[in-house]
Amino acid sequence: MMRDVDAMLADVRAQLAPLRGARVLVAMSGGVDSSLAAALLLDAGAEPVGVFMHLWDYAPDESGCCTLSDARDARRVAEKLGIPFYVVDMRKPFAAKVVEDFASEYARGRTPNPCARCNRFVKFGALARLADELGIHWIATGHYARKTELASPLLRRARDAKKDQTYFLATTPKEALARAVFPLGGFVKDETRALAAAWGLPTAHKRESQDVCFVPDGDRMRLLARIRPDGLAPGPIVEQTTGRVLGRHKGLAHYTIGQRRGLGLAGGPWRVVALDAAKNAVVVARAERLVMRAVRVGEIVWFAEVKDGEVVQAKLRYRMPLAPMRVQREGDTLRLVPLAPVEPSAPGQVAALYRGEQLVAGGIVEEVKTESVCAGYELAGG
């Protein structure tokens, strides 16, 4: 339910009160969310410094997040608010840590999450180092996330469940999140637009970009063909139990675990159960459904203690509903066992673990164990 303007502002002013008089570096992308984040900081008595990050060179006819027109929109908002504004060149760290990883992961038969990498290495990595050079401690973004306390690294899910972005922040180091400011965590999207319109911000009704920012047309294959063409090399499609070759695939980057369409195989239904990069093979099994039996997670960032055997709520894809999973600690990795049937994730995706609303850990999916479910078969909960 959308609140009136006074109610909207009361909570966020209290949240941001400790920042009165403090300089805050605001990552302004030219969208409504980061625009309002800057406005709310100014309203709370902070001294926001707007920064637009030049991440990628677009063709003249391309549109997407962080284009030249977005830079102009961010500057217009800064001028409206009367705050300093700068454009900074972040193309090198973005290419090295986000784009190259994106292409390499697909070439390895994995499915990466570039937004999480951007948060970890660019927004709260390279941008944090810039803030240090400027003598600025705090960094604000337009993410929909809440903090338990302003100076704490602990995150809670946003009030707007549909916009919650704690999943994309789950692999960001605690030290970086301790200096992060998320003014929009207590807002629903309609409130963000209404308040931005009430303040006359030029981006109030701007359409959101839904694509990966450096793949604005959604055609990742064209990018991969230029950067990592080895991920597009054709190879065999093999049956899981017998190893029999059933057909040819177009390159590992075209496929993901659980996929059933576009395989071009007779005698199905067939689903992808694994991508074998060493053999450049797509592994399939005959199944009506494919569910996860266990997931191994590495590169873990801990935000709170999680006991061996504890049941947490886990999200292994952004659009996946939270699902109860039992945690089994195995050295530096975790094994997650779903307590009920869950559609499979894929290696390379982020795993975010929650206890109630609080984010307790995040990591990268390294391995997925699946089970094929045929028609008429009842799967028992794990």
Q: Which residues are catalytic?
A: 118, 213
CA–CA separation, 350 vs 166, rounded Å? 11
Whether residue 359 contacts residue 352, with contact meaning beta carbons closer than 8 Å, is answered with yes
Q: How far is CA 275 from the centre of its chain?
A: 22
DSSP 31: S
Question: What residues form DSSP beta bridges with 50?
Answer: 26, 85
Could you tell me if residue 341 is left (phi over 0), alpha (psi between -120 and 50 degrees) or otherwise beta?
A: beta
**Closest C-alpha among 313, 318, 299 to residue 356:** 313
d(CA 237, CA 370) in angstroms, rounded, equals 18
Q: Where are the alpha helices (DSSP H) in 187-298?
A: 189-198, 220-227
Burial of 189 (0-12, 13-18, 19+ CB in 10 A): middle
CB atoms near residue 107 (< 10 Å): 21
